[in-house]
Chain A
Amino acid sequence: MSRKIYEVRDVSYTYPTGKTALKDISMEIYSGEIVAVVGPNGAGKTTLLKILDGLIFPQKGEVRFMGKPLTEEVLTDEKEMAWFRSRVGFLFQNPDIMLFSPTVLEDVAFGPLHLYDREKALAITESIMKKLGIYHLRDRHPYNLSGGEKKKASIAAVLALDPEVILLDEPTRDLDLKNRNYVLELIQELRDSGKTIVMATHDLRAIRLADRCYIINTSLVFSGTPRELFSREDLLENANLEIPEIIRLLRMVGIDEVPLTLDEAASLLKERMNGSFFPTVEKIPQQTQIKD
């Protein structure tokens, strides 16, 4: 069994306006898994991620990170804070919020500079920028970058801390197809390298990458696998999601199983039709994924 990273017990959070954002949420997150947090707009997904990042604290309930309670008092201690911040990275939904320095280099270096000495911070920063292919943007003003470049710069800013846990808030939002694919591939790579990922998302392709998913709509509505989620129309409706078209197609031809990739869908179809009706199915490139 993997190591328990987060333990969230009966967490409730109410905004200063009096509106309840989260009510009695309980969940567990284990090392090396991708967890998708799904729900309609305003369901409290971002609030939950902020709580997991120790930016805000629940009025009720408890959050534990690697066995330690995650409270305001604990994070006031500089040593504890540095320990926690170097282990958890948070990619905000809006890159403009994360990019606040005069150059991309300084922005990416912001985190490392607060944790390491100057030389080490610079080395880490340059290395991550080269890895993500944005080193040529080092002297550019972050506000003048394209949407995709901004996203890459903000991802670099998070990865520069080399966190074990990465919290992603709508990581593929507002991106064109190429950049979206880039982010999805990166998420997979991060998981392969042993990172734990918690992402709030509406993107069906991103949900498909998850090992487990939670639907929240102020309270916890569902906890299970993406396959279970896609097989239940009521849950998808609750999360303001649509059934992927390929699953709809399979249902139209009387197949109730839920494929997560095109390859799976093709196999199901071939199996049902004995290969005779879909001679071109074999030509579908391998690793092609379901598009929502």
Chain B
Amino acid sequence: MSKLIDKTVEEVVSFIQEAVFSERYAGKEGFLQGLDPRAKLAALLISISVVVGVKHITTLLFLYSIPLIMAALSKVPLGYFVRRVWVFVPVFTGIIAIPVIFNVITPGKALFVIWNSPYIAVTKEGLHAAGIFTLRVATAVSYAILLTITTKWNDVMKGLSDFKVPGMVVTITTLTYRYIFLLTSILVDSMHSRKSRLCRKLGMIESWKEAGKNIGAVFIKTQMIGEDVYYAMLSRGYLHTAKSLNDFRFRKRDALFLALTVILMVGVFMGDRWFI
């Protein structure tokens, strides 16, 4: 079990470090990379509003296909993109979607009976509701992740600042981003340090207890380090606004992209409401 925890933590950490910090695709020359981050942010807000508002699974499937096409046009490998989205989806939806499939929450036609007394079954309506919910989350997450994959983090933050998002929100988001890397590095280091001093195999309960202690210690350390990260930013003139080396220029193609997004999303929303 201890090996399982260690392996899982290592995998999660290396995934976060690679996924969040590499900015590998943000620097490539692709369709979305060439757009003004403010246009992308506005398009994201519009798209997510529509994703949240539509009712039919076919509309959601159509909406889900859009970020896939955009990813391909932006030179983001589809396998990588889909994996990044679906790694987070179970975390966001699992707790809510799983109970929904049972007759206790969603009554309906029983597809699979789990228990007769009390009667617990998976219902068709429940599966449909959970499916729509999961697809809705996956689609919304796809749009958000596509923005962060194809845009440098500082540019996303500067875009938010330009949209008059309060400085404190930008600061907290910026700090969180910077803090995650330190947190994950410390977590792996402290895990390795524990491993190097372990002279016998721990039982399951013991290993869970040790992992709990480890997590507690890591949080105390990162709290102190997080404070220092903020001081290091302040010390270099940080004024609660994001700055970027990239000069933002809202060009014709940005306006066209935004206009097309509005037309498409309004069309999809109306079609979902009145034609399907």
Contact = CB atoms under 8 A, between A and B. Distances in A.
B182 interface: yes
Contact of A85 (B182, B231, B236, B244): B236
Nearest to B186: A96
Contact of B235 (A85, A96, A121): A85
A187 B264 CA distance: 60
B22 A141 contact: yes
A122 B231 contact: no
A58 B55 CA distance: 58
B152 interface: yes
Given A50-B231, A109-B245, A113-B244, 14 more contacts: A97-B225, A100-B181, A100-B229, A102-B21, A102-B152, A110-B243, A111-B236, A114-B238, A121-B245, A141-B21, A143-B17, A157-B236, A158-B236, A161-B237
A94 B231 CA distance: 12
A141 B228 CA distance: 20
Interface residues of B, number: 27
A113 B245 contact: yes
Nearest to A118: B247
A118 B246 CA distance: 8
A82 B22 contact: no
A100 B232 contact: yes
Interface in B161-182: 178, 181-182
B153 interface: yes
Nearest to B238: A114
A86 B237 contact: yes
Interface string B238-263: 11000111010000000000000000
B162 to A, nearest CB: 14
Given A96-B185, A100-B178, A102-B153, A110 B236 contact: yes
A73 interface: no
Interface in B1-31: 17, 21-23
Interface in A47-92: 50, 53, 55-56, 78, 81-82, 85-86, 88-90, 92
Secondary structure at chain A's binding surface: helix, strand, loop or mixed? Answer: helix
A33 interface: no
Contacts of A56: 231
Interface string B220-234: 000001001101111
A157 B144 CA distance: 31
Interface residues of A, number: 37
B65 interface: no
Nearest to A96: B182
A205 B243 CA distance: 39
A81 B239 contact: yes
A161 B243 CA distance: 15
B237 A85 contact: yes
B77 to A, nearest CB: 20
Contacts of B58: none
Interface string B172-199: 0000001001100100000000000000
Nearest to A154: B232
A55 B238 CA distance: 12
A143 B233 contact: no
**3 A-B pairs with the lowest CB-CB distances in the bound complex, closest first:** A111-B236, A114-B237, A113-B243
A21 to B, nearest CB: 14
